């Protein structure tokens, strides 16, 4: 018998990403985002949700572009800080001692110290309620050499991305390899 918790955003796993944007004057800003995920394979798209009151909302509307910066576990305090204050009050990258670099394609900055970066251009803004979902087309994926594995791609266990726990407000690390996708279930398929 399952216990009911009512209507709330209580689900796992949820990512922790830093979203990079430029404001009207070209100043770089970053925001912490946990409401987001991949939303299409062709074209490759990702969605992030933001409140209208945020600087990042205004910047994406202005520039039609953003970056998604995936922190390694060692950067969780920096991303938490990004969620504690608005870029209208503090130069967050400067205060956190991080370096903004202009994306190669998207009109947005990325954070040099973050091991995995998605350059995105805004495809669509969908108003849902308190949050607006921004659908971004992934124009390029950038990764540091030291997180690239033997198969030539950045690996989850080298990046060690951060998970967010809604309601309880905890951050978690990612864990051990469980098995291969599109293979692990073959025994059930064929039984």
User: 89-128: which residues touch a second copy (CB under 8 A)?
Assistant: 90, 95-96, 104, 116-118, 123-124, 126, 128
Nearer to a second copy, 88 or 126 (CB): 126
**How far apart are CB 148 and a second copy at their closest, in Å?**
7
Q: Which of 20, 36, 87, 109 binds a second copy (CB under 8 A)?
A: 36
- In whole angstroms, the minimum distance from the beta carbon of 60 to a second copy comes to 15
48's tokens: 């992030």
Q: How far is the CB of 186 from a second copy (least distance, A)?
A: 7
**Contact present, 47 and 40 (Cβ < 8 Å):** no
Owner of token pair 């309880």: 168
Tell me the C-alpha distance between 136 and 120, whole Å.
5
Phi, psi (deg, nearest 5) at residue 95: -65, -35
User: Scanning residues 63 to 92, which ones bind a second copy (CB under 8 A)?
Assistant: 68, 70, 73, 76-85, 90
Q: Please state the closest distance from residue 188 (CB atom) to a second copy, in A.
A: 4
CB contact at 8 A, 154 and 143: yes
Q: Does 20 bind a second copy (CB under 8 A)?
A: no
Q: Which is nearer to a second copy, 24 or 180 (CB)?
A: 180
Give backbone dihedrals phi and psi of 41, rounded to 5 degrees, phi first.
-90, -40
The piece of 18-26, 52-60, 141-149 that touches a second copy (CB under 8 A) is: 141-149
Token pair 């933001």 in the structure block, residue: 50
In this chain, which of 47, 53, 102, 122 binds a second copy, going by CB under 8 A?
A: 47
Closest to a second copy by CB, 23 vs 171, is 171
Contacts for 147 with CB less than 8 Å, ≥ 6 apart: 72, 115, 116, 154, 155, 158, 159
The helix (run of H) or strand (run of E) holding residue 118 is strand 116-127
């Amino acid at each position: 018998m399952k216990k009911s918790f009512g209507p709330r955003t209580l689900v796992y796993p949820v990512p922790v990403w830093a979203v990079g944007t430029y404001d009207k004057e070209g100043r770089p800003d970053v925001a912490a985002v946990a409401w987001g995920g991949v939303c299409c394979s062709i074209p490759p798209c990702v969605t992030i949700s933001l409140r209208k009151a945020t600087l990042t909302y205004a910047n994406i509307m202005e520039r039609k572009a953003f970056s998604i910066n995936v922190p390694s576990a060692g950067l969780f305090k920096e991303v938490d800080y990004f969620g504690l204050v608005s870029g209208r009050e503090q130069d967050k990258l400067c205060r956190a001692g991080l370096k903004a670099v202009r994306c190669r394609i998207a009109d947005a900055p990325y954070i040099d110290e973050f091991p995995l970066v998605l350059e995105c251009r805004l495809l669509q803004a969908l108003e849902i309620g308190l949050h607006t979902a921004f659908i971004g087309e992934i124009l390029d994926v950038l990764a540091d050499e030291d997180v690239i594995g033997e198969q030539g791609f950045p690996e989850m266990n080298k990046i060690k991305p951060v998970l967010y726990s809604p309601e309880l407000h905890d951050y978690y690390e990612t864990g051990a390899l469980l098995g291969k996708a599109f293979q692990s279930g073959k025994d059930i398929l064929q039984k």
